[in-house]
Every structure is written in structure tokens, then in C-alpha cells.
Amino acid sequence: MKFKVVVIITSTELADKMVDIAKGAGATGATILPGRGTGIHEALTFFGLSLDTQRSIVLLVVSEARAAAVLYAIREEGDFKKPGTGIAFSFALDKVVGLESQIPHLDCDDVAAEEEEKG
């Protein structure tokens, strides 16, 4: 089975909403990491000191067949067309271990095909 990582970088306040949207599109779980950063606009300042924006980095491992649907849902339901909401992207994974308990929930035709190949 082929997998992709979907990465969502958004405000900390929106992280849980993004996970819910991704799960609605077929993701089975997420890891949320703290982050900070700035976008194209200048960072806020307070008495000359730069204030970084707190961000959350949401990592999702999804089947290759589900990745486009998850990204589409994030874009549409997460209002990612609005500036400053965040960024989301995906990339392929070479190897994955530890997902055995989630395979029955991945809703992917690749699972059945691989099981048939194994015999």
C-alpha cells in the first residue's frame, strides 16, 4: 500500500478544526506539533521586538488514494483560499510501520489488491 504525508500549517486555534475536516475526508488520525513563523506580511512588533505567530503543524499519514480528497477538503472547508489561514501540502512516503491497526479503516482498494498478491 502506498502512503502520503499531508502537512497542514495553520494557526493554533484552527488546528483541531483542520483535523476534524481531514478525518471527515478519510484521514484516520493526526499528530499536532507546535511551531512558529511568519508569512509574506511583516511580523507584528511590540516596542521594536518582533512577535512570531504561533502556528500548529498537523501531520497526517493517509493512503495515496485519499491524499487529494483530504487536501481538497482542507482547502474548501478550512477556507485556505483566505490569506493567512495556512498552507497544506503532501509528499510520498517510502516506508511506513505501525499502521497495522488502521489498515481496515483506510478505505482504499489498494489493501485488497495487496492482500490478493500476498496470497
CATH number of 108's domain: 3.30.70.120
The pLDDT assigned to 34 comes to 95
State how many domains the chain has.
1
Q: Residue 11 belongs to what domain range?
A: 3-118
d(CA 113, CA 104): 13
Sequence-distant (6+) residues with CB within 8 A of 16 are none
Q: What is the pLDDT along the chain (119 residues), one digit of tens a residue?
A: 789 999 999 999 999 999 999 999 999 989 999 998 766 655 566 666 666 678 999 999 999 999 999 999 999 999 998 887 899 999 999 888 887 666 666 655 544 444 344 44
Q: What is the DSSP letter of 104?
A: G
- In this structure, are residues 10 and 39 in contact, taking their beta carbons and an 8 Å threshold? no
Q: How far apart are CA 32 and CA 110, in angstroms?
A: 27
Q: Which residues contact 96 (CB under 8 A, 6 or more apart)?
A: 3, 61
Which pLDDT does position 59 carry in this prediction? 97
How far is the C-alpha of 106 from the C-alpha of 66, rounded, in Å?
A: 8
**Cβ proximity of 1 and 55 under 8 Å:** no
Cα dihedral 57, 58, 59, 63, rounded to 10, equals -150
Question: Which pLDDT score, from 0 to 100, does residue 95 have?
Answer: 83
Q: Taking a C-beta distance cutoff of 8 angstroms, is the pair 108, 66 a contact?
A: yes
